[in-house]
């Protein structure tokens, strides 16, 4: 019993002498290939966001000013930092429609009837599928680049906007995006929220 308490198991992780390869249970992970994997994920996510979700044919992304004052004490349902700008939803929709009008996706997504605009279900379904793919890429990037990841149920239940059930999980702090995962397993008993991870996304 004493020997068992004082002994340690063998290390499952080790580095090569030049710190360029990580070995986990004998399987090698080259750091340069890992970095390339992350860069390819970022490129794929940016391309999907730019061309398929924002309809920007130049392939670029709009500049985002993260020097905003995000108020974490605002618990109003339906609020998040982007709504601090007046009429932000209308401006965002107008920008997206203007971008869409000049692309090949216009006829696949929109049916003009007089002065009205109807969105075609097939085009909307395709857009929603691309949106889901983008979220999946973003979730992977958050988990592999921002330190220790939360559990699956925590990472897939992040909220960008306050709801009736709880506050949002994403905030702007000092020019960076920060997301907080939390769980409520013992909240009913202890009346205390346990925060498991604070993460910052550069």
> What mean pLDDT do residues 9-25 have?
86
Query: Quick one: pLDDT at residue 201?
Result: 54
Q: How far apart are CA 49 and CA 44, in angstroms?
A: 9
Cα atoms in the Cβ-side hemisphere of radius 13 Å centred on 77 = 4
Confidence band for 193, pLDDT divided at 50, 70 and 90 = low
In the chain, what are the domain boundaries?
A: 2-201
Question: pTM (2 decimals)?
Answer: 0.75
Query: What does the pLDDT look like over 54-74, one tens digit per residue?
Result: 999 888 998 888 888 888 889
């Amino acid at each position: 019993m004493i020997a068992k308490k004082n002994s340690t198991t063998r290390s499952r992780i080790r580095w090569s002498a030049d710190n360029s390869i990580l070995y986990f249970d004998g399987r090698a992970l080259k750091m340069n290939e890992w970095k390339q994997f992350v860069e390819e994920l970022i490129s794929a996510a940016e391309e999907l966001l730019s061309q398929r979700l924002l309809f920007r044919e130049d392939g670029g992304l709009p500049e985002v000013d993260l020097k905003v004052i995000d108020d974490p004490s605002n618990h109003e349902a339906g609020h998040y930092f982007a709504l601090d700008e007046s009429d932000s939803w209308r401006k965002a929709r107008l920008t997206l429609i203007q971008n869409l009008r000049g692309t090949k996706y216009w006829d696949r997504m929109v049916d003009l009837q007089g002065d009205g605009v109807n969105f075609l279900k097939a085009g909307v379904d395709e857009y929603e599928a691309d949106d889901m793919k983008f979220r999946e890429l973003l979730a992977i990037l958050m988990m592999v680049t921002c330190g220790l990841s939360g559990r699956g149920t925590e990472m897939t239940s992040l909220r960008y906007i306050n709801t009736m059930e709880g506050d949002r999980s994403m905030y702007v702090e000092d020019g960076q995006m920060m997301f907080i995962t939390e769980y409520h397993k013992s909240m009913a008993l202890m009346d205390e929220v346990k925060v498991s991870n604070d993460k910052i996304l550069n």
